[in-house]
Structure 1
Amino acid sequence: MEGRAQAPAAGTVLNALATGTGSAFAIDAYTTATVELRSDEGVDGEIADAPDADTRLIERCVELVTDRFGDGQGGLVSTESEVPMASGLKSSSAAANATVLATLSALGAADEISREDACRIGVQAARDAGVTVTGAFDDASASMLGGVTVTDNDEDELLAREERDWDVLVWTPPERSFSADADVDRCRQIAPMADLVADLALDGDFGRAMTVNGLAFCAALDFPTDPLVEAMPLVEGVSLSGTGPSFTAVGEHSALEQVAERWRERDGNTWLTTTQTDGARTR
């Protein structure tokens, strides 16, 4: 009873910390999960290249799926990722989605649930494990479904989904930032700007939505705005991703290459990729 699946990372259009409404888009970088089920109780997790990392999220994903679709089997779940942890690129959502799908595959139950509902299992696991403030249904839905999603994270409701074929530039500084540690009260003070971003996103104006979000949340979370200002004249949208520290910009490849020259002057990793519209899948 073994299953394997992968799920893409994502970037932020609207951070849901301010109002509970969020928006994110999938990018072409992946976390892969392998699940081996056995009849004895207990789930053990391991994360490649991070032996001391917290594995409660992926273990809880297996537990929730086997409780609902199996007989409460235990087993081993392991993940490997192209996405750095605690970087704002939705590594937790990607890991949860991949683990849920891999467990369903191991049980032969992949056709018994929609991908949207499978995504909600991972969101519940994230809440149970304490790795998210909002439940991160925006991040999880973008990773699971692909494309750009807009969600009500308080109700785990999908409000909109569209596809955009963008090139994507990512700058990830060497620092790490855990979303569960974010100053939620300070983020809630910028709710009027978040409402504006939500209106833009629901109108399909994702680029401007990203940029307004980036300016507002850099101010709220004390991140520099220089990367945004450098990119704004050249790209469709640019933002702090999640609660940082990564920044993402979207637009035409040639324009993003110009921005990359500036971003590469800073410490960390600057790389080009694309949006992803297919979402998570079993392997």
Structure 2
Amino acid sequence: MDSEMTQGLWKDWRLHALVLVTVIVTEAIGTYSFSVGPGVILLLPMLYALIIGLILYFTPLVKEKQSKNAEPIIILGVALLLAKIGVIIGPSLPQLIEAGPALLLQELGNLGTIFLALPVAVWLGLKRETIGMTHSVAREPNVGLVMDKYGMDSAETRGVLAVYIFGTVFGAVFMGLISGFLATLTPIHPLSFAMASGIGSGSMMAAASGSLVAIFPELETQIIAFAGASNLLSLSTGLYVSIFIGLPLTEKLYSVMTNRRKNKEAIK
């Protein structure tokens, strides 16, 4: 980023004022929880901030300049979050080592999107967009992988970009809600959900671990350490899992399912 762009970024007072007001409003609202059966759904300030930011985007208050300037600030915010996580992970290394295979193999859990989402997408009649949409959770490395393999204008790229955008807007909201709900609904240990929250997205991981910390404050250090380490592993190993397992498996299953569907239609 050149110096002129940097100066323009920090002098964008409209953007900073909107962010400050949003933070004040969301912190004033605070954390709110309510029960759904035996589980608890936790609403965090981050959720309110996402909703307010989305609403502001469609108002005259936010112009194209503000939306572009906000992008590098988000990266900066996530960088600070990762730095904090790195400091917390250090003292928790013995516990992380003790978790061992569970932490290392957690990346295979991200392949669940193939077996859960692919059949639904094919059933809905989606074409090769399905491959890009369901081979992973579609974060930045996966978008780059699909673009490189299939091309910028391919159906697969349209699919992965659709899920990437959807995940950016709603992913943190979903992860924040579902982690708190399942952690109180099921007998599974909170640290398992902390490991599950590290899917390769800083915002989603922060939302999920934030909900867990609010419910289990006595485990705050361990939850943040496990979530951070899991997220780091997902970022470092997730691309290779997608290259060698996720994408080929999705291609194969898509081919099998669509051929079966064509055969059934031909019989009719």
Q: Which has the higher helix share?
A: 2
Q: Which has the higher contact order (CA 8 A, sep 6+)?
A: 1
TM-score range, shorter chain: under 0.3
TM-score by length of 1: 0.23
Max radius of gyration: which structure?
Answer: 2
TM-score by length of 2: 0.24
Q: Which has the higher strand share?
A: 1
